[in-house]
Structure 1
């Protein structure tokens, strides 16, 4: 364990951006090796999915409060909605001769290292029967990876749910971002977990991460250990597997794995780039944070009191999921009401059966440190949203002793004012001198309890996932308020720590985020994600 702890800390420090030196990355982009944004399994049977999301009545405001609709039956149609509104395309954009796809799940640089898989029994309308499928979002189809003709497979699932697997292709991010790419892959995994959780909730389903299983077993379950199926293609690394359905009806993963030994496997992965650069630090941190079999975790922390204000717009979930965008600039003058700001923060408080927090099986470990610039009736300054009250002593000890820690805002919102001050210039500096951090309503760094990962190195990945889940919640909350958000991977880690007074590894900032009034780029043209079906 000491060896893994050393590797973790070494990667964490070496992958930091600093004012006088950025983390190691490519000196220049080799456009001839830009990765294909779509993983395809050639030779796999394909099952077209209907575009049925527009018929979904669920409202976002209900989902964010945990008011889920009655659970729909699992079928080809409902599975299609699940993937369309979580991992599917949301639009095509073009500028001149360039054309690219956007997706419902955000990604740094729009590079999308995350791949999605379905494991299910035979479902109505699913012609391939039970088995393992890869979701090809470009065409909104399922590619069958494994066909299982075994009643034990169906019995293992009963009729209470399906599994969604997530994996990462590190090269997709490393091509542009080098060593720090591993961090961004974990952020993207967190965004994808949240996106799946929200879409499942819109269908009345609960979501749970299968956290006890070993990564080796999950790799085999998705077929990612089949070397002959990948050949020279870029390998995928398993992130996690989500149970979608009735929480107490989760299948035995080892039983499913044993049945897959008798399955018929299809397809060969396409190669995404003709050449690759090697990033040994990514290989090292991946080895250090792989997970073995563990016991089921203890129940999460007691839930906070339910408090949730209604955002400005009452939108269908399908609309808000597909209109989510990352802002590229803010106007720097608009303000947000205190009520809207508090409503956003309230949505970040974890509740057991409310998306996206229902996916998490571990206690809350990440807390936003907010740099507030333009919120009506709220002093500009430095604030902390305490998502887990048990962390208060540790956070106070880690930060400057002269902070105010003055409770502010609604009674049931654990928001603390540390310092009243105009921090726009500080926010710009922290975010690699980007104006978007100063021109926002507010910016925030996500403080994670790194001591957890030093004891259990695989939790390092999960801390980044929790940051990504927070980011996805902020993305949707911003859209519901008529605003826009963006995640920022380029920030000076230790400049954020210096502002807070953090001097050791007990707490570290793992992600940065901003919310504001977006300035539209009128040079871009937008097109529907998929051709209308006849």
Structure 2
């Protein structure tokens, strides 16, 4: 496979240069803060003081159905109104629990985030949705409420969309120059979380192509009176990320970009954003540069409808657990028990669910599939330990030059042939463990699990469009969200790993050149629960009123 051309990325591509600069290396980590003051971390929640607040019902349990049934729309999709919108936002971006240990207390959310820092903010744009005021609303996950940012007069139309932004400083505070990567991974997780929540209701989520400037104006992120420029303004800025149309009964597609700006133009604006961090100790200009070069230009091309390969339908899921239950119980495993082995059927089901099909959450991604998986298989029942490759599309030609590839179906007859799973190198358990651990920044969670993996992106997709870099990272986040929920449904647990040694990963799998780049790692295994950490309900103050 080594004779496949690499199509190297142009060295003057500023985003390829950013990605190369922010690699971790064995001899040094990417630039970041030297120390952290956990008592002065950025605010986890943003509020708009003075905006009208509308509490949303905690209604997700009313629409519960088995997680395994999400591939099949319900016979009667749920109508869009304040109650069903509340369920959508609750399962996409709402709180899933409160954790406490001694005097420390912190919230977990249904959408995961690097370091639990949550840069993603969600906005609802609605008109003609019963029980929801027409206009732009900021979603407050802490109270499960809508804050009315810009209210408009009813015009008889019926449409619904969700806009996402990122407060990049929340990630940069901890991760320095690598923060832009993590923000885009988090946006991908958030997009997938929204798509799964919509599927529960029988709704669909579709990305809309808008120039970044249009999206900023639509969500009020360019308002000088709310986000003034200044020495420390970078801590308060929200980067416009993506607008997603919600398709539901009686709800039509939003108008085109210019018409959306016309819709919001006469609005009355309310509320002022709360501060994220009034006194930062560092600044990372390259994060702002990566954001600037990857924004969609004013002449952005129309939305691309991803092309998915023809694949067999997913097999029935073994779990009888409800989708809302699985979504809420999702956690990042902190430790794994190496004494446990993952059943082979569960492993195949997880990999099969990662293949891109015209189903949630992949229908919400912005471009053709470009992420493929390098696997460290350690404790999968009846499967030899070693390094494996999972091409997520049949036409992928990934030049992993470390030996003679062996189709897994040759030595594991029950392995579905359409997976295309290939063993690249047969290694002993301890050797795979050492490799997995060392390549994921020496973290035990990468080696004590059943399997871990690295996601590689095809950087030939970057071309001349800077926004493609965001799309690649977001697709990795979408894949990660599938792994999180599939792991929970299989009775195990996943953890996203943002820290890995990029180039050593490529070397270990025989990837040369610059076309294939590591973007995200993940690990799945049997979790070890820390009994010292207490878990409480997400909205204890509202349990009575919504029961």
What TM-score, normalized by structure 2, do the two folds share? Answer: 0.91
C-alpha contact 1:35 1:273 (8 A) present in aligned 2: yes
Cα distance in 2 for residues equivalent to 1:363 and 1:173? 27
The 3 A distance-change label for structure 1 pair 208 and 410 is same
Look up the match of 1:348.
354
| 1:493 aligned residue | 502
Give the alignment partner of residue 367 of structure 1, picking from 367, 372, 383. Answer: 372
After superposition, give the CA deviation of every residue in 1:313-345 in whole Å (9 maximum; x if it has no partner): 211111011000000010112001111000011
Question: Does residue 230 of structure 1 match 2:227?
Answer: yes
Cα deviations by residue, 1:372-413 (Å, 9 ceiling, x for unpaired): 101112111111111112222xx13xx216331525221232
- Distance in structure 1 (CA, Å) of the matches to 2:495 and 2:350: 14
Deviation sequence 1:415-453 (CA, Å, 0-9, x none): 122122131110000011111111010000001001111
1:87 to 87, 93, 96: 93
- Within a 5 Å distance, the mapping from 1:318-467 to structure 2 comes to 318-352=324-358, 354-392=359-397, 395-396=398-399, 399-400=400-401, 402-408=403-409, 409-422=415-428, 423-467=432-476
Deviations 1:69-105 (A, max 9, x none): 5321110001000000010000000000000000000
Q: Distance in 2 between matches of 1:204 and 1:312?
A: 21
Cα offset for 1:124?
A: 1.6
- The answer to whether structure 1 residue 219 and structure 2 residue 216 are counterparts is yes
Q: Please, which moves more after superposition, 241-250 or 8-17?
A: 241-250
**Mean alpha-carbon deviation: is it higher for 35-44 or for 226-235?**
226-235
Choose from 286, 311, 317 the match for 1:305: 311
Output aligned runs, 1:67-216, within 5 Å.
67-68=73-74, 70-126=76-132, 129-151=133-155, 154-155=156-157, 158=158, 161-210=159-208, 212-216=209-213
| Structure 2 CA distance for aligned equivalents of residues 446 and 347 of structure 1 | 15
Distance 2:100 2:521 in 1: 28
Is the CA contact (8 Å cut-off) linking 1:308 and 1:346 kept in structure 2?
A: yes
1:309 positional shift: 2.8
Asked whether the equivalents of residues 366 and 446 of structure 1 are also in contact (C-alpha less than 8 Å), the reply is yes
Q: CA deviation at 1:227?
A: 1.7
Q: Is 2:19 the partner of 1:15?
A: no
Q: Residue 68 of structure 2 aligns with which residue? A: 61
* Shift in alpha-carbon separation, 1:375–1:99, aligned structure 2, 3 A: same
The count of aligned residue pairs is 518
Partner in structure 2 of residue 243 of structure 1: 245
Report deviation, 1:6: 3.1
Do the aligned partners of residues 468 and 298 (structure 1) sit closer, same or farther apart at CA in structure 2, a change above 3 Å counting? closer
CA contact (8 A) 2:402 2:425 kept: no
Q: Which runs of 5+ in 1 are unaligned?
A: none
| TM-score in terms of structure 1 length | 0.94
The Cα shift of 1:68 comes to: 4.5
User: Does 1:521 find its partner at 2:530?
Assistant: yes
CA distance, structure 1, for counterparts of residue 324 and residue 277 of structure 2: 34
In 2, the alpha carbon distance for the partners of 1:284 and 1:370 equals: 33
**Counterpart in 1 of 2:44?**
37
Distance in 1 of aligned mates of 2:288 and 2:11 = 12
Indicate if the aligned counterparts of 1:189 and 1:468 stay in contact, CA closer than 8 A. Answer: yes
- Aligned partners of 1:4 and 1:457 also within 8 Å: no
CA deviations over 1:150-201 (Å, ceiling 9, x no partner): 41xx43xx3xx41000110011011111111111111100000000000011
In the TM superposition, what is the alpha-carbon distance from 1:513 to its structure 2 partner? 0.1
Q: Counterpart in 2 of 1:476?
A: 485
> SS state of the match for residue 443, structure 1?
strand
- Measure how far apart 1:249 and its partner are: 3.3
* Structure 1 CA distance for aligned equivalents of residues 287 and 445 of structure 2: 29
1:288 corresponds to:
293
Worse-matched range after superposition: 224-233 or 358-367: 224-233
State the distance in 2 between where 1:517 and 1:240 align: 35
Q: Is the 8 A contact 2:99 2:108 kept in 1?
A: yes
Contact 2:403 2:425 in 1 (8 A): no
Structure 2 residue matching 1:93: 3-state secondary structure: strand
Query: Partners in 1 of 2:369 and 2:170 — Cα distance?
Result: 30
Within 2, Cα distance between the matches of 1:234 and 1:69? 45
Q: CA deviation at 1:298?
A: 5.0
The separation in 1 between residues aligned to 2:109 and 2:202, in whole angstroms, is: 23
> How far 1:274 sits from its partner (Å)?
2.2
Q: CA deviation at 1:302?
A: 4.0
Q: Give the secondary structure class of the aligned counterpart of 1:240.
A: strand
Work out the CA distance in 2 between the residues paired with 1:3 and 1:33: 40
CA apart distance, 1:11: 1.1
Q: CA deviation at 1:295?
A: 2.5
Contact 1:373–1:380 (CA<8 Å) still a contact in 2?
yes
CA distance in 2, matches of 1:495, 1:3: 21
Measured after TM superposition, the shift of residue 252 of structure 1 is: 1.7
- Contact 1:69–1:203 (CA under 8 A) maintained in structure 2: no
Unaligned runs of 5+ in 2: 1-8, 410-414
